[in-house]
Amino acid sequence: MPILPDERHAAILDRLLRDGRVLAADLAAEFDTSEDTIRRDLRDLAAAGRCRRVYGGALPPAPDIGPVSRRNGVARDAKRALGHAAAALVAPGWTVLIDSGSTNLRIAEALPADRDVTVVTNAPAVAAALAGRPRCTLVVLGGRVHPTVGAAFGPRTLRDLDGIWADLAFIGACGLAAGPGLTVFDPEEAEFKRRLLVVSARAAVAVTAEKLGTAAPFVVGPAAALHHIVVEAGTPDAALDGLAGPRSRVHRADAA
Amino acid sequence: MPILPDERHAAILDRLLRDGRVLAADLAAEFDTSEDTIRRDLRDLAAAGRCRRVYGGALPPAPDIGPVSRRNGVARDAKRALGHAAAALVAPGWTVLIDSGSTNLRIAEALPADRDVTVVTNAPAVAAALAGRPRCTLVVLGGRVHPTVGAAFGPRTLRDLDGIWADLAFIGACGLAAGPGLTVFDPEEAEFKRRLLVVSARAAVAVTAEKLGTAAPFVVGPAAALHHIVVEAGTPDAALDGLAGPRSRVHRADAA
DNA sequence: CCTGATGCTGCCCGATCGTGCATGTTTCAG
DNA sequence: CTGAAACATGCACGATCGGGCAGCATCAGG
């Protein structure tokens, strides 16, 4: 059964998205082809901007798509302000779902330590940030942690989510635009986030400026389904056109 | 199957961002490479302005943190050595269960980043330390996180553990003595650790000197049931009397 | 059916890169 | 001052890369 070059290209991108990196030797073994062909594929993909060529293999094109920990350094102050504005949406005694993403990690850190709150999360970084807080009941959703996303969202995670009800869910976003709505880079991740919307009374998303107006391949849902949209202080009104539905409220983070 | 050089660079910057400093010797051990290579990496990163080179390691480019003091905290060095000695027990391709505890966190950090390994853990701190490693398949066990222990071990966690088999389990200990064996402070935690013993081919425990000869209220099992006991370099033989069973091996961490 | 063009593939070869080791030099601590 | 650790440099070896070339399949046009 021969494998079409286009199929191979798609498979390579798929693996790149899944694992966060690919090795030329591995790909050659997997597709039973020579490393030369793989090199040519990677060269073409890199020329098209779909990946970044490195010695021995390839990496995702933008470091933004890489592991979440690598993103923690950039735009930290803006995300901290976003985190405080979003954390203010949480009332005492609530149960809060916190999804993955560096912005959501800032929300978790910004949660007041003196208020009783139950946090449910699928992101180890969020869990580690909240572990040890005495007034915080912390529940972790299990499953395989996706290496590039830094969170679990497979079938085991969905099973763990069963029987949980939250007052508010903070959804992570890779892109937020008027047309496609809230989008991410992984289909399973999108499915998990859709499930979050189902098991919570309200949904909120906090996005930095560079994600507004952009879209990733997989749609979670329309922005109008969100109850709260938290954006940076200087966001122009034009960037929010068509985002908020009748039930949505837009919050601007205080300037840093 | 080496790690990609670019990945190593990114990982070094990641650690630098997280810890505020990196030591050449640590990085060489973690990536299982020579210190020369690490020095070359640090030189290149410093040339690119991504870090600031200092004697023995590197610091973030911004002079926000004081100079590196190599001789701070002998206990930190001891635990790091303990972690490296324990991590050396892991063979490539293995599935490893890592329990909670600060020593086990050191083991996780000391796992070589260039080897394929599957890690299953109930501790958010361990998961956060390993999240983003491309060669590491990370599985989180869900459940409510005990605030003082910093890990999950309730019924949900036991359910998540169902259907998992590991080649090696690193069990955390609050006390390790000849009579009661391995002991902890919480009955449910003890039950969880007993379950770890059942679902893994081998069990290992790494303990610092102050835990040897002490006991906590709840017994996990006899020390003889452990296949590997990792202790600090200077531990006297007398402190190990009656601990090791016929199948047990005692490892001494290299002196720092 | 035949033929030539095109694209994809595998192989070969010189060039480049990354790495570890050996050597000599510099820096730090006591 | 002295010894140990860290460092820079040069070199050798292996892995990877890019380009060129030939074989094979597909396909359009005669």
- Does A244 or B215 have the greater pLDDT score? B215
| Chain A residues near residue B131 by CB distance under 8 angstroms | 67-69, 124-125, 145, 147, 150
Q: Tell me how far apart the alpha carbons of residues A155 and B13 are, in angstroms, rounded to a whole number.
A: 33
Helix (H, G, I), strand (E, B) or coil at A6: helix
Note whether B17 contacts A72, CB cutoff 8 Å: yes
Predicted local distance difference test score (pLDDT) of residue A67? 45
What the block records as the tokens of A215 is 């879209």
Residue B249 predicted with pLDDT over 80:
yes
CA dist list (Å): B123 to B6, B148, B206: 29, 12, 16
Predicted local distance difference test score (pLDDT) of residue B19? 82
| Chain B residues near residue A124 by CB distance under 8 angstroms | 124, 127-128, 131, 138, 140
Predicted local distance difference test score (pLDDT) of residue B75? 56
DSSP string, B142-187: -EEEETTTTEE-SHHHHHHHTT--BSEEEE--SEEETTTEEEES-H
Residue B240 predicted with pLDDT over 50:
yes
Closest chain A C-alpha to B117 CA, distance in angstroms: 13
Residues 6 or more apart whose Cβ sits within 8 Å of residue A12: A22, A27, A38, A41, A42, A45, A51, A58
Q: Looking at the complex, does the CB of residue B4 fall below 8 Å from at least one CB of chain A?
A: yes
The CA–C1' separation of A49 and D26, in angstroms, is: 29
- Nearest CA to B160 out of A63, A161, A106 is that of A161
Predicted local distance difference test score (pLDDT) of residue A20? 84
Predicted local distance difference test score (pLDDT) of residue B243? 85
Range of lowest pLDDT (A163-177, B9-23, B143-157)? B9-23
Residue A3 predicted with pLDDT over 80:
no
Q: Is the dihedral of CA B214, B220, B225, B230 positive or negative?
A: negative
Interface predicted TM-score of the whole assembly (ipTM), two decimals:
0.82
Q: What is the mean pLDDT of chain A?
A: 90
Which position has the token pair 């601990």?
B243
Predicted local distance difference test score (pLDDT) of residue B116? 87
- Nearest CA to A152 out of B25, B137, B230, B68 is that of B137
- Does B254 or B142 have the greater pLDDT score? B142
Predicted local distance difference test score (pLDDT) of residue A244? 82
Predicted local distance difference test score (pLDDT) of residue B255? 59
- Nearest CA to A96 out of A189, A200, A209 is that of A200
Residue B248 predicted with pLDDT over 70:
yes
DSSP B200: B
What the block records as the tokens of B218 is 């709840």
Q: Is the dihedral of CA B129, B132, B137, B140 positive or negative?
A: positive
Predicted local distance difference test score (pLDDT) of residue A210? 84
Contact A124, B123 (CB under 8 A): no
The predicted model gives A108-121 an average pLDDT of 95
User: From the CA atom positions of chain B, what is the Rg in Å?
Assistant: 19
Give B246's pLDDT tier (boundaries 50, 70, 90).
confident
Predicted local distance difference test score (pLDDT) of residue B1? 60
- Nearest CA to A82 out of A101, A112, A107, A108 is that of A107
Give B219's pLDDT tier (boundaries 50, 70, 90).
very high
What the block records as the tokens of A142 is 């299990």
Q: Tell me how far apart the alpha carbons of residues B6 and B9 are, in angstroms, rounded to a whole number.
A: 5
Q: Looking at the complex, does the CB of residue B115 fall below 8 Å from at least one CB of chain A?
A: no
Predicted local distance difference test score (pLDDT) of residue A65? 45
Residue A148 predicted with pLDDT over 90:
no
Domains (ranges, CATH) in chain B?
5-59 (1.10.10.10), 74-252 (3.40.50.1360)
Note whether B14 contacts A69, CB cutoff 8 Å: yes
Predicted local distance difference test score (pLDDT) of residue B82? 87
Range of lowest pLDDT (A68-82, A117-131, A224-238, B126-140)? A68-82
Q: Tell me how far apart the alpha carbons of residues B92 and A164 are, in angstroms, rounded to a whole number.
A: 37
Predicted local distance difference test score (pLDDT) of residue A191? 96
Predicted local distance difference test score (pLDDT) of residue B171? 98
Please tell me which of the candidates A66, A69, A144 has its beta carbon nearest to residue B137: A144
Residue A64 predicted with pLDDT over 50:
no
- Does A234 or B105 have the greater pLDDT score? B105
E strand segments, chain B: 22-23, 52-54, 57-59, 95-98, 117-121, 136-140, 143-146, 151-152, 168-171, 175-177, 181-184, 203-206, 218-221, 228-231, 249-252
Range of lowest pLDDT (A79-88, A217-226, B67-76)? B67-76
User: From the CA atom positions of chain A, what is the Rg in Å?
Assistant: 19
Q: Tell me how far apart the alpha carbons of residues B29 and A116 are, in angstroms, rounded to a whole number.
A: 42
pLDDT (tens digit per residue) in B54-68: 999 999 886 544 334
Residue A125 predicted with pLDDT over 60:
yes
Predicted local distance difference test score (pLDDT) of residue B185? 95
- Nearest CA to A199 out of A173, A153, A158, A164 is that of A164
Evaluate if pTM is beyond 0.90.
no
* Pairing assessment for the beta strands A143-146 and B136-140 based on DSSP bridges: antiparallel
Residue B86 predicted with pLDDT over 90:
yes
Strand order of the β-sheet with A22-23 is A22-23, A57-59, A52-54
- Number of CB atoms found within 10 A of residue A48's CB: 10
Q: Tell me how far apart the alpha carbons of residues A84 and B216 are, in angstroms, rounded to a whole number.
A: 41
Q: What is the mean pLDDT of chain B?
A: 89
The CA–C1' separation of B41 and C24, in angstroms, is: 22
| Chain A residues near residue B16 by CB distance under 8 angstroms | none
Residue B72 predicted with pLDDT over 50:
no
pLDDT (tens digit per residue) in A32-46: 999 999 999 999 999
- Does A245 or B202 have the greater pLDDT score? B202
Percentage of residues in chain B with pLDDT exceeding 70? Answer: 93
The predicted model gives A96-101 an average pLDDT of 96
pLDDT (tens digit per residue) in A166-198: 999 999 999 999 989 999 988 899 999 999 999
pLDDT (tens digit per residue) in B223-238: 999 999 999 887 888 8
The predicted model gives A151-156 an average pLDDT of 96
Pick from A145, A148, A149, A161 the residue to mutate for testing the B interface (most B CBs within 10 Å).
Answer: A145
